[in-house]
Structure 1
Amino acid sequence: MTVSSVPDRALPPVVPAAEWAAAHEAMLAKEKALTRARDALAAERRRMPMTPVEADYRFVGPDGEVGLLDLFAGRRQLVLYRFFYQPDVDGWPDKGCGGCSFFADHVPNLAHVNARDTTFAMVSPADQDKIAALTERMGWDVPWYTLLGDDFSADFGVAELFGINVFIHDDRDRVYRTYFVTARGAEAFTPTWSILDLTPLGRQEEWEDTPAGRPRSTPYWWGRHDEYP
């Protein structure tokens, strides 16, 4: 069902303004509780232990071969996203993974991240020439490195599925892994979901708890921004 075909009977009930305000206040109380719970979870995440990175993982950037420490670009922290852009991806080499492309569209102005002593970058097996061509076509401006070999992907849980690894280094330039997230855990990086979750129609996916008669489709409808009708 498309949005244009949603019948009026499937829309939310119509109530007087005072009744709407009461419902909104009740929802706001729950949202504030969720915000406090999210803050508490973030505080717990900051207290997680870290584990040393012992292997000498190698990458290629615009200026040649580098190590993991070089990806920090002189900052203390590194957030690294594994983007699937390689020969087994549909549309290669003109296209990257649809889900990864959806993610990359949401990367913010990284000056704000950098200002907090943190670097965000992406890694893929593709060579730098192909990465440069794809970033230009898609309008992305993200540091993006070529993976050399399969060890990094295997060791950090991103050989078969995308993922976000977080690293930090100490004053002796020893690198540590502090966090990892994949699947729906990465939704915080894609505010499209936050916008859709505010609406009566929601994400319009079949798994959602949504009133009858509203649009539903299978997940994974998202993809490359230049391929929508």
Structure 2
Amino acid sequence: MTTHPTVSPRDWDAAREQLLVEEKQLTHARDALAAKRRQMPWLAVEKQYVFDGPEGRASLLDLFEGRRQLIVYRAFFEPGVSGWPDHACVGCSMVGDHVGHLAHLNARDTTLVFASRAPQPDIQRVKARMGWTMPWYTITDDFDADFGVAEWHGTNAFIREGDSVFRTYFVEARGDEALGSTWSYLDMTALGRQETWEDSPEDYPQTPPYEWWNWHDEYAGKAGQG
């Protein structure tokens, strides 16, 4: 390895403070970008989609589990994909390993699911092997083709108004690398983190930061379903 200079504690602190200026700029830029996502127009989902789930057939609306928002990650686990039938692809499996406890997302009225073309028995077997707990559905129609994830992984965000569903955002490729934490998932949604410091439209739900945070086993209501 290249030898780095060794400095005094004072000089090390000065170097860190210098870099911290740029890191804070990046944080503020990321917050501003998330605010722009919350201003994105919505696309109505007019087509009906059907998935196979652990409890049988499910519509896209069913995937919300009664919550306001839905995030769907298209994971490649199916015949012909590297790792089949013992594993999903390596990259999608790494995404699965990074998913935080879903109760925190659920507490913000948001559901996260995975979707693949593998049959449910194979999905349940791999989930058990890998210790994953996220809901995972089988794509049975053109959902993957219609939402940009037929040939590559990607993450779609949706919101519902009653029984009407809208697509609000989409990331793919290296965009998926940043996902996994509660914060990164919420930042890609139409409603965001729903905290008072965010730059959001006036009618968006917001509460003070920290006050809604909880231990994952002590959320009540819809959050507890995760």
Question: Per the shorter chain, which TM-score range?
Answer: 0.7 to 0.9
2:35 — aligned with what? 43
Which residue number in structure 1 is paired with residue 155 of structure 2?
164
- What SS does the corresponding residue of 2:4 show, helix, strand or coil? coil
| Aligned counterpart, 1:152 | 143
Question: What code does the residue aligned with 2:157 have?
Answer: V
Instruction: For residue 100 of structure 2, give the secondary structure of its aligned residue in structure 1.
Output: coil
Q: Is the 8 A contact 2:100 2:180 kept in 1?
A: no
Q: Which residue of 2 aligns with 1:57?
A: 49
Partner of 1:140: 132
Cα drift, residue 141 of structure 1: 0.7
The alignment partner of 1:88 has SS state of coil
Describe the SS at the equivalent of 1:141. Answer: coil
Asked whether the 8 Å contact 2:43–2:166 carries over to 1, the reply is yes
Q: TM-score, normalised by structure 2?
A: 0.78
Report 1:69-148 matches (<5 A). Answer: 69-148=61-140
Larger Rg: 1
Question: What secondary structure is seen at the aligned counterpart in 2 of 1:105?
Answer: helix
Gaps of 5+ in 2: 182-226
Matches within 5 A, 1:180-191: 180-190=170-180
Equivalent residue number for residue 20 of structure 1: 12
Distance 2:149 2:4 in 1: 41
Paired letter, 1:176: F
| Residues 107-139 of structure 1: per-residue CA shift (max 9 Å, x gap) | 100000000000000000111100000000011
Q: Which portions of structure 1, spanning 4 or more consecutive aligned residues, are displaced by more than 2 angstroms?
A: none
Give, in angstroms, the shift of residue 48 of structure 1.
Answer: 0.3
Unaligned runs of 5+ in 1: 1-6, 192-229
- How many positions carry a matched residue from both structures? 181
One-letter code aligned to 1:155: D
Conserved 8 A contact 2:116-2:139: yes
Q: 1:82 to 1:20 in 2, by over 3 A?
A: same
